Amino acid sequence: DLDELLDEIDEVLEENAEDFVRNYVQKGGQ
């Protein structure tokens, strides 16, 4: 089902975005 696939992609992108923001903030804070 296309909707299910899009939901999975959204979840992965959100997780990657959170990791990216965390790493960016850590580097910027030092």
Q: What is the 3-state secondary structure (H, E, C) of 5-29?
A: HHHHHHHHHHHHHHHHHHHHHHHHH
Handedness of CA 12, 15, 18, 23 (dihedral sign): negative
Instruction: Give the C-alpha separation, 28 to 7, whole Å.
Output: 31
Question: According to the model, what pLDDT value does residue 30 have?
Answer: 60
Question: According to the model, what pLDDT value does residue 19 have?
Answer: 94
pLDDT in tens, the chain (30 residues): 999 999 999 999 999 999 999 998 888 866
Instruction: Give the C-alpha separation, 8 to 25, whole Å.
Output: 26
Question: According to the model, what pLDDT value does residue 26 have?
Answer: 86
